[in-house]
A = this chain, B = another copy of it.
Amino acid sequence: MKFTITRATFIKKLNDVSRAISSKTTIPILTGLKLVLSDNGLVLTGSDADISIEARIDADSETNDLQIASTGSIVLPARIFNEVVKRLPDAKMTIDVQDNFQTVITSGSSEFTINGLDANNYPHLPEIVNPQPLQVPADVLKQLINQTVIAVSNQESRPILTGVHVVISDGQLLAVATDSHRLAQRTIELPAAADSQYDVIIPGKSLVELGRMLTDDIQTVEMRFAENQVLFVAGQTNFYSRLLEGNYPDTSRLIPTSSTTQIEFDAPALLAATQRASLLSHESSNNVVRLNLNAQDQSAVIYGNSPDVGNVEEALTFNSLAGDDLEISFNPDYMKDALQGFGQTTIEIDFTAPLRPFTLVPSEDHEHFIQLITPVRTF
């Protein structure tokens, strides 16, 4: 295998696949980056067994500037190879695999010889052929990921809750995550997928990495499902994730259908006030803030307290407040995570009782996005 390429082109793809490579893997060859060069072009692969990322550099593209001398394959130690490629002196570099998988990387007057490994020993990626792949706009998918992964559990005691439950049916994609203290649910319309039916659980960590990879230059993402894998195709990059096995709990009955107190906020203003209140609750052993709502006085006040450090009290600005008076306590970090998912918009919060979960929805659309937070008992 021998080829010459513009370093900047290569580095962009290298960064993409490096997301999947961990130095902490139990399978030594997965600390490496696989390069496979055929007449069609170069394929870079990185994997940590849960996530695998494959990036293609096509041979026939003018901009890629890939000059192929001979085809072949190699696995190179990813961390050091990354550092070497990024520090090379010239705009171009040549990679030449010689005897015993010794790989010579030349650029300008600099010549590195790196010990590689046989690419035949690298695990194979699943082949996922799907008669009817689903198309999702990349920006919508990225937003859906950011809005739901916040509620994923990071505790391995109930592994199923470390994933996002994705259900596709009736031309809709529903994504829901809960760590049993809070829940985030987002629905998007997929008109072209009317007769597709899927019910899968995608690890939250996989979706976080996928979200980071979805840069603004990517328009559409194609989703393909197999037995225990999902493949996201974004431009020249394939992102594979294993699926979680098991039954996700039924979350639909957790969401209250009625409320006794309703308040409308600008999400960024409430976020800022919650952050201030959390400065003191974080100093306390129980990380809780209190909200007092009084419709008659038209007042909403948030309180944070730390016996050692002090306390904070802030009268909140809101758009409207109706219903029963309420005093409710909650973890401000759950509120902050939820509010960040709404961005620059107006939200409605619906309460039923001091110890019953409350919900946050965009004022403009109560159907497609909902965050639910379980309050904390403080008495």
Contacts and interface: CB of A to CB of B under 8 A. Distances in A.
Interface of A: 77, 80, 83-84, 87-89, 102-103, 109-115, 272-273, 275-276, 279-280, 283, 308-317
Contact of A312 (B113, B272, B311, B312): B113
Which applies to chain A's interface (DSSP): helix, strand, loop or mixed? Answer: mixed
Give the 5 A-B residue pairs with the shortest CB-CB distance, closest first: A114-B310, A109-B315, A110-B314, A112-B312, A113-B310
Nearest to A110: B314
Number of copies: 2
Given A80-B283, A115-B308, A308-B115, A89 B276 contact: yes
A174 B89 CA distance: 37
Nearest to A272: B89
B112 A310 contact: yes
Nearest to A277: B110
Contact of A276 (B110, B272, B283, B312): B110
A1 to B, nearest CB: 16
A275 B111 contact: no
A111 B88 CA distance: 55
17 contacts: A87-B272, A87-B276, A89-B272, A89-B273, A103-B310, A109-B314, A109-B315, A109-B316, A111-B312, A111-B313, A112-B280, A112-B310, A112-B312, A113-B310, A113-B312, A115-B309, A115-B310
Contacts of A80: 279-280, 283, 309-310
Contacts of A89: 272-273, 276, 314
Contacts of A313: 110-111
Given A109-B315, A317-B109, A309 B77 contact: yes
Nearest to A112: B312
A312 B77 contact: no
A269 to B, nearest CB: 8
A113 B110 CA distance: 62
Contacts of A102: 310
A276 to B, nearest CB: 5
Contacts of A111: 312-314
B109 A276 contact: no
A283 B114 CA distance: 12
A80 to B, nearest CB: 5
B309 A114 contact: yes
A340 to B, nearest CB: 15
Given A84-B279, A89-B276, A113-B310, 18 more contacts: A80-B310, A88-B276, A89-B273, A89-B314, A102-B310, A103-B310, A109-B314, A109-B315, A109-B316, A110-B314, A111-B312, A111-B313, A112-B276, A112-B310, A113-B312, A114-B309, A114-B310, A115-B309
Contacts of A309: 77, 80, 114-115
A276 B114 CA distance: 13
A280 B83 CA distance: 10
Contact of A110 (B87, B109, B112, B273): B273
A313 B111 CA distance: 5
- Point out which of A110, A311, A315 has the most chain B C-beta atoms below 10 A from its C-beta: A110
Contacts of A110: 273, 276, 312-314
Nearest to A269: B89
